[in-house]
Amino acid sequence: MTYRVVQWSTGNVGRHAIAGIDAHPELELAGVWVSNPDKAGKDAGELAGLGRSLGVEATTDADALLALKPDCVVYTAMADDRLGEALADLQRILRAGVDVVSSSPVFLQFPDGVVPGEVSGPVRAAAAEGGASLWVNGVDPGFANDWLPLVLTGVCERIDEVRCFEILDYSTYDNRKVVFDIMGFGGSLDETPMLLQPGVLSLAWGSVVRQLAAGLGVELDSVEESFERLPARSTFEIPSGTIREGTAAALRFEVRGMRGGRPVCVLEHVTRLHPDLGPDWPQPSGRGCYRVQVTGEPNYTMDLRLVGTDGDHNTAGLKATAMRLVNAIPAVVAAPPGLLTALDLPLVTGRGLVS
Paired residues of 169 in beta bridges: 272
**Quick check: 210 and 109 in contact, CB under 8 A?**
no
Report the C-alpha gap between 312 and 173 in whole angstroms.
Answer: 9
Each residue's pLDDT, cut to its tens digit, for the chain (355 residues) gives: 899 999 999 999 999 999 999 999 999 999 999 999 999 999 999 999 999 999 999 999 999 999 999 999 999 998 888 989 999 999 999 999 999 999 999 999 999 989 989 899 999 999 999 999 999 999 999 999 999 999 999 999 999 999 999 999 999 999 999 999 999 999 999 999 999 999 999 999 999 999 999 999 999 999 999 999 999 999 999 999 999 999 999 999 999 999 999 999 999 999 999 999 999 999 999 889 999 999 999 999 999 999 999 999 999 999 999 999 999 999 999 999 999 999 999 888 786 555 4
Report the C-alpha gap between 131 and 286 in whole angstroms.
Answer: 45
The pLDDT of residue 6: 98
The domain locations on the chain are 3-136+317-340, 147-305
Cα four-point dihedral sign 103, 105, 108, 109: positive
**Sheet with strand 158-169: strands edge to edge:** 222-231, 248-259, 262-272, 158-169, 288-297, 300-305
Report the C-alpha gap between 14 and 32 in whole angstroms.
Answer: 10
Report the C-alpha gap between 71 and 60 in whole angstroms.
Answer: 19
**Helix axis angle, 14-23 to 313-326, nearest 10°:** 60
Q: How far apart are the first and last CA of the chain?
A: 22
| 201 contact partners, CB below 8 Å, separation of at least 6 | 195, 225, 227, 253, 255
Q: HEC profile for 37-95?
A: HHHCCCEHHHHCCCCCCCCCEEECCHHHHHHCCCCEEEECCCCCCCHHHHHHHHHHHHH
Cα four-point dihedral sign 112, 113, 117, 123: negative
CATH architecture of 147-305: 2-Layer Sandwich (3.30)
CATH architecture of 3-136+317-340: 3-Layer(aba) Sandwich (3.40)
**Quick check: 316 and 306 in contact, CB under 8 A?**
yes
pTM confidence score = 0.95
The pLDDT of residue 45: 97
- Burial of residue 174 (number of CB atoms within 10 Å: 0-12, 13-18, 19+): middle
Strand segments, DSSP code E, in the chain are 3-8, 27-33, 58-59, 72-75, 99-102, 133-136, 158-169, 222-231, 236-238, 241-243, 248-259, 262-272, 288-297, 300-305, 338-340
Tell me whether the omega of the peptide bond preceding residue 111 falls within 30 degrees of 0, making it cis: no
